[in-house]
Structure 1
Amino acid sequence: MIEARAVVVRLEGEHAWVQVSEQAGGCGRCDEPGGCRSVKISNLFKPPTETFRLPNPIGARPGDSVRVCIDDGAPLRAALASYALGAVLMVAGGAAGALGGGGGDAGVLAGALGGLLLAWLSNRVLLRSRRWRSSLSMAVLGAAPSCGHAADEGH
């Protein structure tokens, strides 16, 4: 599990807005000698979003310190579905359009657009899937237990 410390900023019904209070990323060696600084590069054009609206099953209040947890593979699965699927289907559609349309530019363009449309539809279906969404969800836990003990709290 990936975990980060956060502070509850405000409440909104059954949800808490939490602000991540530590910069986490990659292997954690960003600022050490030999670190790749990849997190700093990814923040070059847009600062990271540090405030999240999450379910508040523990009844945290504004000012409370909490832990935000997400499954290790969730960010990779989300990136693959969002970006890789679109790229692969666009290239495959373009190749199919080139082969089926006599190799003309119009066939390649139509196939690439068809691949992107298929990727978009696939992502829409995934977003409607309760199982998919729950595999990407983040959890708010009290400050003391680590995310590995989320099962102990019934989450």
Structure 2
Amino acid sequence: MNDAWGTVTAVDDGQATIRMDDGGCGRCRESGGCGGNNLGHLLCATPRTLRVANPERCVVGQRVRVGVVDGSLGSSALHAYAVPLLGLFVGALGGSAVAGEIGAIGGSLGGLLGGWWGLRRAHLRSRDDPRFRPSIRP
């Protein structure tokens, strides 16, 4: 499980709004950690909040552990980076073969947009899948 800690800020209709304490996996300060949380603080100073199911009936102010199933985070990151990048490369190679440098530029833009569109469709198909949804852990 990939877990992080947060505090319940609101509860309604079986859902809890949770303000996350830290971003990332929690290994930022350990040796071998990527340090991505430090960069995240520079780019986004507002606290992250999640809205998750509340089967444990947590109350406002309670600290909770929130997690996602193993493998889902890595899979999502791989798709988010690989699909648009692959579209960019395929579009550039195809455009270059058809119309040289101008074709490569147009093909790379078209491939990048196509990759983004495919990623967006995959997101819409999988957003109701419980494997990709954060949940409160006991």
Is TM-score (shorter-chain normalized) higher than 0.5? yes
Larger CA Rg, structure 1 vs 2: 1
Q: How many residues align?
A: 138
Match of 2:49 in 1: 51
Match of 1:104 in 2: 101
Q: Do residues 2 (structure 1) and 2 (structure 2) align?
A: yes
Match of 1:148 in 2: none
Contact 1:126-1:132 within 8 A present in 2 as well = no
Uncovered stretches (5+) of structure 2, i.e. residues with no partner: none
**What displacement does 1:93 show?**
0.4
Q: Do residues 127 (structure 1) and 123 (structure 2) align?
A: yes
Q: Do residues 28 (structure 1) and 27 (structure 2) align?
A: yes
Match of 1:16 in 2: 16
**What displacement does 1:119 show?**
1.1
1:92-125: per-residue Cα shift (whole Å, max 9, x none)?
1011100122x131x1122112212321221232
Q: Distance in 2 between matches of 1:24 and 1:110?
A: 37
RMSD between superposed Cα atoms in Å: 2.7
Contact 2:89-2:108 within 8 A present in 1 as well = yes
Between the two proteins, what is the percent identity of the paired residues?
27
TM-score scaled by structure 2?
A: 0.79
TM-score scaled by structure 1?
A: 0.72
Contact 1:127-1:133 within 8 A present in 2 as well = no
Q: Do residues 79 (structure 1) and 72 (structure 2) align?
A: no
